[in-house]
Structure 1
Amino acid sequence: MQLNYHAIFLSLFGTTLLTGLPRAFAQNVPSGPTVRAVIADSSSRQVLPYVTIGVVNEHGSPVAAAYSKENGTFSLQLPGSGHFRLVVSSVGHRPLHLPLNAAHGAPALPDTLWLATSSRQLGEVQVVARKQLIEQKPGMLVYNAGNDIGNKGGTAADVLRKAPALNVDPQGNVTMRGSGTLRILVDGKYSGQMARSAADALNMMPADIIQSVEIVTTPSAKYDAEGAAGVINIITIKNGKSFSGALEVTASNWEQAINPRVSLSRDKWNMSFHGHFHRLQDKSAAITERTSLKDGAPTQTLFQEKRQNNVMPHTSGELTVGFTPDSVSELSLNVNAWLGSWPDGSRQTTRIRLPNGTFADAYLQDARKKERFLGADISLGYNRKLKRPGQEFTAMAQVSPTGGNSSYASTQSAEDGKFRSREENFSKTRNTEYTLQADYSHPLSADGAFMLESGIKSIFRDANNNYDVWYADAPPPAALDFLADRSDKFSYSQTVLAGYVLMKMKFKHGWYAEAGARLEHTGMEGKMRGGKDAFSNTLLNFVPTATLSKKLTDEQTLSLSYAKRLTRPYIWDLNPNADASDPSNIVVGNPSLLPEIMHQGELSYGFTPSSGLFLNLAAFYKQTDQSIFDLTTTNDNGVATTQKQNLAGNRRYGMNFSSAFSITPKWNMNGNFNLNRLDYESRALFIVSKGWATDVNVNTMYKLPGNVSLQAFGEYSTRQVTFQGHRTPWFFYSFSAKKELKETKMTVTISAINPFNNTLSQTEVINTAAFRSSVLNRYYDQSLKLTLNWEFGSMFEQKARKKISNDDVREKGGE
């Protein structure tokens, strides 16, 4: 990287003024008039904080100094009357010199002082400072994943596992403060890949492209109301280079991946691309024991042992093209596409024992599941910065076509190998989504202290699922019989029309207030083949949000916020196609699901002293009505059926503590502690389930001589309450070492995942009046991973892009 030494000199000059002048002029100095203005960038039209402002007299000696605030304003009192010169300087901009004639009162200054961007090349220097691993910003916590060496060669799931207030279970499902009904965005943009299955999508995104993660616990009215728990925004790396890129190759005993990315810019055009080619092996085992009850006495006990070992090849890529016709306008095209094969084959042994000890049945189940998927998000964006600083208009459009073919072939045989039955289910899903969005921000005051934001948005979804089921109780070559009662076509459409208004206000003495409201109209329609079992529902949701914060000191902030959120069911929750590949455990959708509605309050305290310490403490309370949860029931034969329902509400409250600090200049540490209580109550089902849960993680990094870094990470999650039972504790840990070869711009990272444990285990327990069950899941993830990363290219400044943020689709598998 190169620096402009002239700009550095001016900045140091300004710093000297700021530190030296208060002492030099501490005596009685004649007071003069005050000058005020706003500092802004002439190209981006955005205000510039912390710009150095100095005043020199006719002899060139410094006589006063100040710096601009976060909103770009400054106020500076002159030492007396006379002729002066104002010097405004900021790194990356040309210095501004203005005469000040204070001989007859306050000199006249424009309301806004515009600084032009410097085009001079900067000399090469070594950067010794870096962002904190965790930062606090208004309304969010930010985890700077690019500074964490343990993420090399990993996936987005590995990154989120270390972020504050988040928890990632062994299956890759993400929760925020114990709740999984959240939205995951990529660069502020909705992703159909995330909507299909967040856990799968996170495993398809390489950690190498992630710059930071924004955790928004109480989103404002600007965000879609969808996502009761909150919003996660994954920010990817924007290569600021005229021609640059990176190639990452990783290999372990469970996965192999190649991740290329490239960026180039010329004149008014710029382009970036990143790809992901991933082969992942997924091995697991499960032991199930379920006892059916009648009047409290056991009637039969089901024993199952299941093993899975699947290889899942998949790929994804994203292309962004930007065009800036002038200094205030920008056009962008973004295409994100993905495809892959996600098999889920298994072999399972089942035995059913009666209370007298005899076995009523025993069989082997061989299930071969396949899922092939293909999808894309294609978006166009236009952004224009208007005349006033902070005044901006954005318009965006996106189309997201996705499709997938899933099927299973399940064969059942006796323990002696004699054929019993076979079943095949063929399912084809097609989904198209269109989004139109426009946003406008308008400053209501010259200093930007009062800002009004507004916008409108429309989403149109159309999904179809055709499924056919075939069955035979005779071995091949006997023909399969078509089961018309279990075959159908499910069509579902959803329309969301929304608008919002948000007011942001900065007051004196460190007070900040934000209040907004969003109105969302939702129309849902569904039907089976021939129009049978048709249903429709129309909802109008008023979604208010509010935040009040006080900057107690330069280092301490106290904030109180409220948000109303909702979670809509989607086609995966509604689809009535039953997965009966295991005839003793059936999973089916529920077309009659309604959205859940949540109210949340949060009180947070932030402490960020100049020493580099970061501390955030938050207490929260959530009330959810008609919550969406999994309900498992059994019939007289002991067959279990799992389906999502709205038959309960819940309360969740607790606290979250996050901290990052340096033990020594070479030894850093950060950690998170989450404590929450979940209370489920269903009057319809006469079920009450309550309990506390805790999860804690610790991450530490130490720098050795020779550009070598070491890192260790560990996470422990205690027993967690579910609607019908609980999940047992689990523990995850890893060690990493990184060597940087600066001459070749090569980085070598070696990581050990759970090196002392062959599997990661967790048991799911359900206790009801009709049955009690436990499922012990073991996930094979012990691995040794080697990652090579090579970076190339030269620097240039690339603008960040705004993209569609459809954060209103419930991810598959959220709870």
Structure 2
Amino acid sequence: MRYFFFISILFLSLISTAQTTKNKGSITAKVIDSQTRVPIEMAIVSIYKAEENKPFNGVTTDQKGHFTFNNLSEGTYRIGIEFISYKVFFIEKVTINTSSNNLNFGEVLLVPIANELSGVTVTSKAASVQSKIDKLVYNPVNDLSSQGGVATDILKNVPMVSVDIDGKVELQGSPNVRFLINGKPSSIFGASVSDALQSIPASQIKNIEVITSPGAKYDAAGTGGIINIILKENKVQGINSSVNLSLGTRLENGSFNLNAKKGNFGSGIYFGGNKQLNTITRNSSDRTSYNPTRDTISSLHQNGKNPFTRSSYQTGLNLNWSITEKDELSATLGFNHFENNSTGTTLQNQQSYLTDGSLLSILNSERKSAGSFKNDATDWSISYKKTFDKKDQELNVLVTSSSGKSINNSSQETIIQEDNSVSGNRNYNPGKNHELNLSVDFTYPLAEGFTFETGAKSTFENIESQVVSDTLSNGNVYINDLGQSYNFIYKRNIYAVYFSSSYTLFNGFLEGQAGLRYEKTNTTADFAGVNIPDYDTFAPSFVMQHKISDSQSIKFSYTFRIERPDFEDLNPFFNISDPHNISTGNPFLKTEKGNRYELGYSKNFDNNANFYFSGYYRYNTEDIQNLTTFYNEFGVGKTTYTDVTLTRRYNIGSETTYGASLFGSLPVNKKGTIKGTFDFGERTNSTPGFASVNSFIYRANLNLSYKFSPDMMGEIVGNYRSTQKSIQGERPASFFYNIAFRKQFLNKNASVGITMANPFNNYLNQRSSSYGDSFYQVNNKDIPVQSFGISLSYKFGKLDFKKGESENHEGPLQPEI
């Protein structure tokens, strides 16, 4: 059925090539530098009605310098074009009528302003959320609560995205999110997504793109969608730099950027690092379990503390060379390091008794554990872009490489208090992964309102993991356990080709994109008993949008997605840092499949208020879920553990989710702004052998900001995430709130900020539960959440193109970008 619908959309898009606009007109042009002939991106283009001084609409030029105004009524207009360090240019007396309704002015030359660049600061007003036909873009420029923070702090404020206390991210209720950096994959997400996100300073992030229904150009992976983190880069002529530093009771952070661009060559370097200071989590758990005949009951009580630290740093270099007006070469190189260290002491009490209450045994013990994880990732890319005389015709070639090395160390020793006997183990788990991507994309405009795009991509992934496990002998000597020591090699090659089109239908009434992606996956695993057959994936997608007016639109989309298991899911390493709660990966995992439908609506108001709605339906099969099983005795190698729950990932059943996301922003008294996000949905898990589980989940975010003066702002943010039921238990709710202030000075080139996270609560209590046929367990965590911090920022250089804080409403319209 979905293929029939997809073919129908393509057929309608072909019909559009024969249509002409009768009642509405359009104006288009390409803005370039008069000296270098290089296209100017982000130039502000405003359109005025004749004899009026206030623009009624505005856009910005795209990466190729193009802009277009559509659906223009008959009449006379004038166009104003401006960009920092260039003279303002006007196109006067532009007339739309029945005989001349689609006007193309070709190349418009902007003339640089000579010798007037020192210390220039240009600002433009920016909306925090912009809805595009294929994505939602979040601009964190005025997120005071994330100043001095990390990527996770920004994601907490992004519509449709939720983050739990452990840093795990969900997109409209789905944890299967594909993360990209500047549109490219990175190996830093392969080892631990939450650690990777907490290694990226918030000061390095330009914006966040949320792509819930990715088109055919994107990889098919990620049933939840894609989150693309766009880092800051240089876009304007001159030299500019910034330094950010923050000190706090729980987190220290710093970053440095230096960018330079002259003529057709630009470069930039950056360095950033952060450290989460020592925090102590208090935890306890109570478990009741039964033997197979259910005539004996066992209880396990654990109570302990776990100090934890995390640190990271990253650095990188980017280069851009516009070889000619139509040829551009770019290269990037980046390195990212993060690590965490933890220790813990846990008191344990085990009891066994009959169903009549008769005590059979009692055992008291103390477990001391330690763990560390380190990951180094190196990413590089080379891209070439070729444009042609024909508008919108483009060729892109991209090569990316991402390599990661990780080391996971863990150990634990348990002392039985009754006889002072000691047992223990230690594990050394080094691993490395490498991903190479080769892609070619070609775009060709077939006719007015119809563009064809095709491309091919090859991805080569290689994952290697080694496990060396030692067991503590009766003589208190560690002896290698061959049963727990092994090598794991996993290789996956993906070959893809796609076709897509962008189209306009019915005189501009509808616009959209439709495409089909084919991927062939070849997988090999050097692990006993693992044989994974090749498989083919056909992933259709489409999106249709109707612009009700210049300020509001409605869209409908469909996409087919898959979720391939990653390194953390596949690694068969047994984590025995707690011998009573063991976890491991599953190299036998298959690909999860998902279908997603979405209906979206966005509206911008004259007072700069805006509203966004997204309703969705998602159905996944071969659903990848955690499954916990209780064992009275469980053997790993030569060691047998008692009273054990083993958690492993499986393909089990299906998941159906439907819900909605709402975002709104409302200015108050020209100085205040209220922003709010509300996500809710109903999720049903159907798993063979288990009762179906229905869970209503929701998340709310409220942001209140106030501008005390042109250079001082304050903000209060609250974020609530509801409890969630799973097939075997319940995940806890969470609530965070932040208070922040920022004072700017030195002509807004410097600022000082104060951030308070949960200032009236030292800890957040997290209560979760899990159960199975023969056990029931309750876990409690007291996680430290209170922190206070101060952040400093300074920017300098010839140019500072800053978006976000202009109070100028008299000049050309400042578009929402």
TM range, normalised to the smaller chain?
Answer: 0.7 to 0.9
Q: 1:760 aligns with which of 757, 764, 767?
A: 764
1:316-350 deviation line (CA, Å, top 9, x unaligned)? 11211111222222111111111233223222222
2:330 counterpart of 1:332 = yes
| Residue 601 (structure 2) aligns with | 605
Q: Name the stretch that deviates more: 494-503 or 723-732.
A: 723-732
What is the identity, as a one-letter code, of the residue corresponding to 1:618? Answer: S
Deviation at 1:44, TM superposition (A): 5.6
**Cα separation, partners in 2 of 1:635 and 1:54, compared to 1, 3 Å:** closer
What is the identity, as a one-letter code, of the residue corresponding to 1:203? Answer: Q
Deviation at 1:406, TM superposition (A): 1.5
**Cα separation, partners in 2 of 1:68 and 1:432, compared to 1, 3 Å:** closer
2:577 counterpart of 1:581 = yes
Q: 1:793 aligns with which of 793, 797, 801?
A: 797
Q: 1:668 aligns with which of 665, 673, 677?
A: 673
What is the identity, as a one-letter code, of the residue corresponding to 2:736? Answer: F
Cα distance in 1 for residues equivalent to 2:760 and 2:524: 52
| Residue 471 (structure 1) aligns with | 471
Deviation at 1:576, TM superposition (A): 1.4
Unaligned residue ranges in structure 1 (runs of 5+) = 1-32, 80-85, 799-815
Deviation at 1:297, TM superposition (A): 6.9
Show the 5 A alignment for 1:298-697. Answer: 299-355=297-353, 356=357, 358=359, 360-415=362-417, 418-446=420-448, 449-476=449-476, 478=477, 480-507=478-505, 508-528=507-527, 532-637=528-633, 638-683=643-688, 685-697=689-701
| Residue 173 (structure 1) aligns with | 168
| Residue 111 (structure 2) aligns with | 118
Cα distance in 2 for residues equivalent to 1:302 and 1:48: 62
Cα distance in 2 for residues equivalent to 1:702 and 1:331: 43
1:542-578 deviation line (CA, Å, top 9, x unaligned)? 0000112212233321211111111001232112121
**Cα separation, partners in 2 of 1:558 and 1:298, compared to 1, 3 Å:** farther
Deviation at 1:610, TM superposition (A): 1.9
1:418-441 deviation line (CA, Å, top 9, x unaligned)? 241121111111212211011111
What is the identity, as a one-letter code, of the residue corresponding to 1:379? Answer: S
What is the identity, as a one-letter code, of the residue corresponding to 1:628? Answer: I
What is the identity, as a one-letter code, of the residue corresponding to 2:722? Answer: T
CA contact (8 A) 2:465 2:487 kept: yes
CA contact (8 A) 1:100 1:107 kept: no
**Cα separation, partners in 2 of 1:700 and 1:267, compared to 1, 3 Å:** same
Deviation at 1:357, TM superposition (A): 7.3
Q: 2:283 aligns with which of 283, 286, 294?
A: 286
SS across alignment from 2:152: helix
Cα distance in 1 for residues equivalent to 2:644 and 2:358: 20
Cα distance in 1 for residues equivalent to 2:45 and 2:252: 47
Deviation at 1:455, TM superposition (A): 1.3
CA contact (8 A) 1:257 1:277 kept: yes
SS across alignment from 1:147: coil
1:382-415 deviation line (CA, Å, top 9, x unaligned)? 1122212221111111121211122212111123
2:233 counterpart of 1:228 = no
CA contact (8 A) 2:196 2:338 kept: no
Cα distance in 2 for residues equivalent to 1:357 and 1:712: 56
**Cα separation, partners in 2 of 1:361 and 1:435, compared to 1, 3 Å:** same
**Cα separation, partners in 2 of 1:645 and 1:152, compared to 1, 3 Å:** same
Cα distance in 2 for residues equivalent to 1:690 and 1:55: 55
Q: 2:733 aligns with which of 720, 729, 734?
A: 729
| Residue 213 (structure 2) aligns with | 218
CA contact (8 A) 1:499 1:520 kept: yes
CA contact (8 A) 1:140 1:215 kept: yes
Unaligned residue ranges in structure 2 (runs of 5+) = 1-22, 60-66, 634-642, 803-817
Cα distance in 2 for residues equivalent to 1:494 and 1:166: 29
Deviation at 1:697, TM superposition (A): 0.8
Tell me which stretches of 4 or more aligned residues in structure 1 moved more than 4 Å.
33-37, 42-56, 65-70, 72-79, 86-89, 93-102, 105-112, 121-129, 294-298
Q: Name the stretch that deviates more: 332-341 or 647-656.
A: 332-341
**Cα separation, partners in 2 of 1:614 and 1:357, compared to 1, 3 Å:** farther
CA contact (8 A) 2:201 2:274 kept: no
Deviation at 1:117, TM superposition (A): 2.9
SS across alignment from 1:418: coil
| Residue 90 (structure 1) aligns with | 81
| Residue 775 (structure 2) aligns with | 771
What is the identity, as a one-letter code, of the residue corresponding to 2:281? Answer: S
| Residue 709 (structure 1) aligns with | 713
TM normalised by structure 1 equals 0.85
CA contact (8 A) 2:239 2:798 kept: yes
1:624-647 deviation line (CA, Å, top 9, x unaligned)? 001111111011243110000002
Cα distance in 1 for residues equivalent to 2:414 and 2:70: 75
What is the identity, as a one-letter code, of the residue corresponding to 1:234? Answer: I
CA contact (8 A) 2:149 2:253 kept: no
Cα distance in 2 for residues equivalent to 1:276 and 1:410: 34
Q: 1:39 aligns with which of 26, 29, 40?
A: 29
CA contact (8 A) 2:469 2:481 kept: yes
What is the identity, as a one-letter code, of the residue corresponding to 1:41? Answer: V
**Cα separation, partners in 2 of 1:418 and 1:147, compared to 1, 3 Å:** same
| Residue 805 (structure 1) aligns with | none
1:446-473 deviation line (CA, Å, top 9, x unaligned)? 4xx2121221111101111111111123
**Cα separation, partners in 2 of 1:487 and 1:442, compared to 1, 3 Å:** same
Cα distance in 2 for residues equivalent to 1:548 and 1:213: 23
Show the 5 A alignment for 1:124-163. Answer: 129-163=124-158
**Cα separation, partners in 2 of 1:567 and 1:99, compared to 1, 3 Å:** closer
1:127-160 deviation line (CA, Å, top 9, x unaligned)? 6752122222212222210122222101100000
**Cα separation, partners in 2 of 1:759 and 1:51, compared to 1, 3 Å:** closer
1:461-505 deviation line (CA, Å, top 9, x unaligned)? 1111111111123354x3x22211111111110001111111111
SS across alignment from 1:200: helix
Deviation at 1:108, TM superposition (A): 13
**Cα separation, partners in 2 of 1:108 and 1:247, compared to 1, 3 Å:** closer
**Cα separation, partners in 2 of 1:474 and 1:797, compared to 1, 3 Å:** same
Deviation at 1:265, TM superposition (A): 2.1
**Cα separation, partners in 2 of 1:169 and 1:192, compared to 1, 3 Å:** same
SS across alignment from 1:191: coil
1:674-708 deviation line (CA, Å, top 9, x unaligned)? 1111111112x233211111111101101113622
Q: Name the stretch that deviates more: 347-356 or 423-432.
A: 347-356
Give me the identity figure in percent: 21
| Residue 704 (structure 2) aligns with | 700
Cα distance in 1 for residues equivalent to 2:784 and 2:362: 33
| Residue 17 (structure 1) aligns with | none
What is the identity, as a one-letter code, of the residue corresponding to 2:379? Answer: D
| Residue 11 (structure 2) aligns with | none
Deviation at 1:417, TM superposition (A): 8.8
Q: Name the stretch that deviates more: 42-51 or 625-634.
A: 42-51
